[in-house]
Structure 1
């Protein structure tokens, strides 16, 4: 598969009255055509800023691209004008936001909100766009779509509104769908339905998906590759199996250990990672996870580790990979040692 998206040495900052917030700091990754990639990390790790940089939705100012490039089918997003980005958004790249109630216009009927994008990006007539809108509502599993297009967002449940958001995002057959925590505001049963819907639509439409989440349960159900972010950096990335069963970064271990397990014999409180992420107004010069890491060494504080390539798909930035580092046991339920 060829690359649909290539992010190279991307840095993005926000200028605030307190100083420069370095939200993204030199990240590199790619997304292939038809692939599902998950960006995972705590709140404030840079996931949403990364996704909104790709679609050009970060406010500028106060935001600004510091360095690097975002190549979408060879076009550098960072150099495009707002007029050019309006042609790309919706038509080539679409986004599903985490709260559909605040994303949908409460004063407009659902049908009109889908029709607008179809008329603008695909040049359909109003009757053609209306038929397409009805088809999309049916495709995402909503009953009686010919009647629902005349309804307002407040007449829908949370799960139905999220299905509408997916219908709007996919109406113009985009090549890349960015889903920013699409199941956060939903209960567990509806979450499962939305994830299954996204999986089915991805197979039918062959759309590439970038999933932004902190829910590793959702990641395990849909993603093919996983990118772990922390303090504006990518600290580990690999296939789903490599991250879940062969991960090498202590932060990744902490995330995996915090997931509830039905097969565990241990009961009680869930495991957690002590401490808080660093402030990115003055980011640490070493590994940003060092202050919270039980395996931290002097080198971790003083210098950021180089990237170690473990396989063609698995990469990690951790001083434990250095030949001089001590051998550390991985968490038992993840198996193996490093």
Structure 2
């Protein structure tokens, strides 16, 4: 049985302008110790899916309309708020996009790590403090015995992100959700944070859900990839399948927009033309139909079924239908072996 299974998840936000259907029937699984990357453009539903797992959708205006989120056999959507409070931090940890707005500016970093330890593990403040020092050391913050008394504004951006990772991992959760963990960090610090996450995952055997739009990060860290567009998962597969044998035109477009370092000649980036669908009034057919160069009449009228390319590779595209025209597509990128 999978550690986490999302079944037909629907999440909407009710606004003055109407209902935004942010997530529309997402199905995903996560195995123990696995790193799953969820990729896609802004507004594709990645972060909303993660917030739904943690039951952090603000209500109002948000609402989880239907679906199941099974964690260790328990449906998280059926738990009371008190029961869910026990799951957050203890069994599922989360690193948010912006550590400066996620950390409490009025509390020292040490106290913020200790808070979860005291609550979930029922240990004394002195034991929690010692554990907090160990966590700061684990995530590579120098002089942790001194830094534990610092406030978030006294940390650099990279150190704040490391502190967020320490808070998320303090209680040894089974799942760590990393929502754009390298956003707003410079390239050198980004590489350090990803290397740190990889190292910590090996040490703790924690399953990781990595939400990102950076395909370089995906190639570096993940074993499996889910591609989201218009609130739906349009393709899932191993990293090798998504990078070398992608089957959905949207995945082709994402990969074609990446710069390639293995080419000697000058290369122009190829952005995907058009704009994402309006989720106030989402299309009844394939959400990518308006931007896809291979659109057929049926693409606008009906959402394609999920086709199984292999045991690990699934795609939702009408080009997989036996009567669809043949479209050849060459591998776009090279990825280094991990």
Is the Cα–Cα contact under 8 Å of residues 32 and 207 in structure 2 kept in the other structure?
yes
Aligned to 1:125: 124
Mapping of residues 1-338 of structure 1, within 5 Å = 2-331=1-330, 333=332
Specify the SS of the correspondent of 2:183.
Answer: coil
1:15 is displaced (CA, Å) by 1.4
| 1:197-239 deviation digits (Å, cap 9, x = unpaired) | 0000000001000000000000000000000000000000000
Is the Cα–Cα contact under 8 Å of residues 23 and 46 in structure 1 kept in the other structure?
yes
Instruction: For 2:198 and 2:267, locate their aligned partners in 1 and report how far apart those are by CA, in whole Å.
Output: 33
1:82 is displaced (CA, Å) by 1.5
Is the Cα–Cα contact under 8 Å of residues 96 and 169 in structure 1 kept in the other structure?
yes
Instruction: For 1:323 and 1:16, locate their aligned partners in 2 and report how far apart those are by CA, in whole Å.
Output: 41
Is the Cα–Cα contact under 8 Å of residues 229 and 236 in structure 1 kept in the other structure?
yes
Instruction: For 1:12 and 1:266, locate their aligned partners in 2 and report how far apart those are by CA, in whole Å.
Output: 45
1:57 is displaced (CA, Å) by 0.6
Specify the SS of the correspondent of 1:159.
Answer: helix
Specify the SS of the correspondent of 1:135.
Answer: helix
Runs (5+) with no aligned partner, structure 2: none
1:269 is displaced (CA, Å) by 3.6
Q: What TM-score, normalized to structure 1?
A: 0.97
Instruction: For 1:28 and 1:154, locate their aligned partners in 2 and report how far apart those are by CA, in whole Å.
Output: 39
Instruction: For 1:95 and 1:83, locate their aligned partners in 2 and report how far apart those are by CA, in whole Å.
Output: 18
1:333 is displaced (CA, Å) by 3.5
Specify the SS of the correspondent of 1:190.
Answer: helix
1:80 is displaced (CA, Å) by 1.6
Q: 1:150 to 1:332 in 2, by over 3 A?
A: closer
| 1:25-47 deviation digits (Å, cap 9, x = unpaired) | 11111000000000000000000
Is the Cα–Cα contact under 8 Å of residues 47 and 179 in structure 2 kept in the other structure?
yes
Q: 1:95 to 1:316 in 2, by over 3 A?
A: same
1:266 is displaced (CA, Å) by 4.1
Q: What TM-score, normalized to structure 2?
A: 0.97
Runs (5+) with no aligned partner, structure 1: none
Instruction: For 2:60 and 2:149, locate their aligned partners in 1 and report how far apart those are by CA, in whole Å.
Output: 38
CA RMSD of aligned residues (A): 1.2
Instruction: For 1:107 and 1:181, locate their aligned partners in 2 and report how far apart those are by CA, in whole Å.
Output: 24
| 1:42-62 deviation digits (Å, cap 9, x = unpaired) | 000000000000001111222
| 1:245-297 deviation digits (Å, cap 9, x = unpaired) | 01100000010111111112442542100011011111001101010001111
1:334 is displaced (CA, Å) by 5.3
Instruction: For 1:54 and 1:152, locate their aligned partners in 2 and report how far apart those are by CA, in whole Å.
Output: 29
Is the Cα–Cα contact under 8 Å of residues 245 and 331 in structure 2 kept in the other structure?
no
| 1:58-109 deviation digits (Å, cap 9, x = unpaired) | 1122211222100011111111222111111000111001111111111111
Instruction: For 2:266 and 2:84, locate their aligned partners in 1 and report how far apart those are by CA, in whole Å.
Output: 50
Is the Cα–Cα contact under 8 Å of residues 6 and 29 in structure 1 kept in the other structure?
yes
Number of aligned positions between the proteins: 334
